[in-house]
Structure 1
Amino acid sequence: MAGSRGVVIAALVANGAIAVLKFLGFLLTGSPSMLSETYHSISDTGNQVFLLVGIRYSGKEASRAHPFGYGKAQFFYSFLVSVLLFGIAGWESLKHGYEAIVHGGHALGGLVSFAGYTFPGWYVNVVVLVGAIAFESYAMKKAAAELRRQIREYEWDGVVDAFRKTSDVTTLTAFTEDGIALLGAGIALVGVVLTEVTGNYIYDAVSAAVIGVLLMGFALALAWENKRLLLGESLPNDVEKRLREVVLAHPGVVHVDNFRTVHVGPEKVLVNADISFDSGLDTADLDDDISAIERKMKAEDKRVKFVYIEPEL
């Protein structure tokens, strides 16, 4: 949880600073791609706030109404982030880029004076976008470090595998946002430079539209990944197999009749199992056996937080 919070705070600081710089760049030059990137960064900043709310809310103590805690709050707020990323940043960026393509654009500002120096206005966009890339690289580094830690711990086969299997949607969302932000800033930079070099506004306009499509595509992907957890996804098959083997290896266990797992929060899993024990087992010792099996499963995978075993003799 602490790792996820640190990742989100780093992204929040970076995106807030970048949003201000990009908007100043747009005001000075009127660049469509800079406005798209402003929408992007404003949306990302708001998204980080939602993710922090989700982290805080999910830390509430379990109650009668929510006996397994509030961990799924992070799934909900991450899903909300993906919808906002699609509905606000993506759509507005695409719309603005399309309008610039259809109705025409203009040169990226004239001369700008600052601290006694005068320079072409489009320099502002280049400096802002290079700065944005630096800020986003910092945030991306934090998110990537946390994701790599999880990949090593759970022995996943890289980022794509982690994207499909992780329940830490907060880190996943921050990592994805940072990656798209880096790519978006790079596309905007190319559009601004090409427009200035060629004198043709179309490159800047197309960049804005491409950024919009990019945002919407990844927002849909994030929404899909959050859907699987909101609906109650189980642990991967190979992890369930290891946990079943732990149960079967316990003395007195004859057969595992049913074995079910479900994520109830980021890195929090509930396990329910129907287990057949040796009929000659002393029923007085059954509680001790069940407690021992619970401890062994939790030791095998730290994500296992709740265990319910139904014994059969």
Structure 2
Amino acid sequence: MSAKVPPTNEQRQGPAAGESTATVLVALGANALIAVAKGVAAVVTGSAAMAAETAHSVADTVNEVFLLTALRSSARPADREHPLGYGRARYFWALVAAGSIFVTGALYSAFEGVEALTSPSHELENPLVSYVVLAVAFVLEGTSLLKGLKQTRGEARASRQSFRQFLRTSDDPTATTVVFEDSAALVGLLLAGAGTALHQLTGSGVYDGVASLCIALLLALIALRLGRTNMRLLTGVQADPRLVRAVLVQLGDEPEVDAVVDLLTVQLGTDQVLVCARLDLVDTLTGAQVEQAAVRIGRRVRERFPDVAEVFLEPVPRDDAEVRERVRARYGSELAEQIVNEAADGLPGSRPA
């Protein structure tokens, strides 16, 4: 029996290893310059939309610092306090970055929009400054977005996934966060430009306020999307389903294994997976042979699947009532039976998820 094996960490990243840091650094530099320019333009013109965009860029700049912290923290090796490593630190800091987008960006933009709508209308001063700043910001944000897209598209191709599927399921939140941030930034620049132009043409600050509220809504949606993604990764999501199926077949093919009774995988961090399996072993094995088989099987799983950081194996009879009930409660009766019968029937049509 065989299963389609997902690409390893090395195969996915190849010569692009370390690109996440480069992508974040490019975004950090671009956003810091843009934040300063927008702040000056907001003061000179009195535009609420430009003030909202300033908050947007400040939030993005702070987020890049959080993402750099995430990359550094998650790279720390396992120790006594964290025996399975610090991989999930990347998800925590990415979640903090999503919260920063909402608090610093969305709420402040909403405040500027409400103030513009409720305050007496004012003249827009030196609108040309806003247009120049928005144009320069568009170029810088576009450059950062292209860098992020290049990385994520390359990783999606290496992972044999569509771009959309990769963004939805990737276990690396750094590059995907940059892509979402910069995409939102470009849309925000267009909204700010439209609000400024309509304010200039009509003399009404309503358009300026509406543009700020639209920017606030955009940032809130992006923050929600990123927050949900990182919450999913923080709460013990299973590994790539292709890896789950391949490990299931690998275990079932071992000569000492009669059946795979249960299989659990947990994403510990980017390219770090914990595998826990309950196996019904051949009844004729001695105690020493069981121990040797467990060591050999665990070693073979780690060698074949480099993303697997740890393997825990437990010998159990396939008809143990308590174990079977726990598996059924997790997967459902039909899928639970498919897992048990995998060694005899081959790869199940469904995945344990």
Corresponding residue pairs, total: 301
Output one character per residue of 1:87-114: Cα deviation in whole Å (capped at 9) or x when no partner: 12100101111210222432321xxxxx
Provide Cα deviations, 1:269-288, integer angstroms capped at 9, x if missing partner: 11111122323457655556
**For the residues of structure 2 that align with 1:10 and 1:293, how far apart are their CA atoms?**
44
Question: What is the match of residue 253 of structure 1?
Answer: 257
- Counterpart of 1:181 (choices 172, 178, 185) is 185
Is 1:98 matched with 2:103? Answer: no
> Which of 132, 138, 150 in structure 2 is aligned with 1:127?
132
Alpha-carbon distance change, 268 to 206 in structure 1, aligned in 2, over 3 angstroms? same
Quote how far apart the aligned CAs of 1:203 are. 2.0
Task: Give the letter aligned to residue 77 of structure 2.
Answer: E
In the alignment, what sits opposite 1:86? 102
Q: 1:255 to 1:126 in 2, by over 3 A?
A: same
Give the counterpart of 2:204 among 177, 200, 206.
Answer: 200
Say what the alpha-carbon RMSD is for the aligned residues. 2.1
Which residue of structure 1 lines up, in the alignment, with residue 146 of structure 2?
141
Q: Which residue number corresponds to residue 262 of structure 1?
A: 266
Task: Please state whether the residue corresponding to 1:88 is helix, strand or coil.
Answer: helix
In 1, the alpha carbon distance for the partners of 2:140 and 2:79 equals: 40
Percent identity of the aligned residues?
Answer: 33
Query: Which region of structure 1 is more displaced relative to structure 2, 246-255 or 69-78?
Result: 246-255
Aligned letter for 1:270? L
Question: Which one of the candidate residues 162, 168, 173 is aligned to 1:169?
Answer: 173
Q: 1:44 aligned to 2:60?
A: yes
Aligned AA for 2:34? Answer: I
Within 1, Cα distance between the matches of 2:189 and 2:209?
14
**Is the Cα–Cα contact under 8 Å of residues 280 and 316 in structure 2 kept in the other structure?**
yes
The one of 30, 39, 48 aligned to 2:46: 30
Q: Which amino acid aligns with 1:143?
A: G
- Among 254, 278, 283, the alignment partner of 2:282 is 278
SS of aligned partner of 1:66: coil
CA deviation after TM superposition for structure 1 residue 131, in Å: 1.0
Secondary structure of the equivalent of 1:258? strand
Q: What amino acid does structure 2 have at the position aligned with 1:44? A: D
Corresponding residue for 1:115? none
Q: List, as ranges, runs of 4+ consecutive aligned residues in structure 1 with deviation greater than 6 Å.
A: none
* Contact 1:243/1:300, CA 8 A, preserved across alignment: no
Alignment TM-score, normalising by the size of structure 2: 0.79
Partner amino acid for 1:165?
A: T
SS at match of 1:251: coil
Residues 234-249 of structure 1 aligned to structure 2 (within 5 Å): 234-249=238-253
Provide the rounded CA distance (Å) in 1 between the counterparts of 2:235 and 2:127.
Answer: 48
**Cα deviations by residue, 1:232-269 (Å, 9 ceiling, x for unpaired):** 11124443122211222233322111110111112211
**More deviation, 70-79/184-193:** 184-193
Is the contact made by 2:52 and 2:108 (CA closer than 8 Å) also made in structure 1?
Answer: yes
Distance 1:227 1:308 in 2: 25
8 Å CA contact retained: 1:86, 1:219? yes
Query: Structure 2: which amino acid aligns with 1:164?
Result: R
**Does 1:191 pair with 2:207?**
no
Q: 1:166-215 CA deviation, whole Å, 9 max, x = no partner?
A: 11112222221111111111211122223223333322221111001110
1:150 alignment counterpart:
155
Unaligned runs of 5+ in 2: 1-16, 318-353
- Displacement, 1:299? 5.4
Residue 309 of structure 1 corresponds to 313
Shift of 1:219: 0.5
Deviates more, 1:32-41 or 1:192-201: 192-201
- 3-state SS of the aligned residue for 1:196? helix
Query: CA offset at residue 37 of structure 1?
Result: 0.4
Q: In structure 2, do the counterparts of structure 1 residues 298 and 125 end up closer, same or farther at CA, with 3 Å as the change threshold?
A: farther
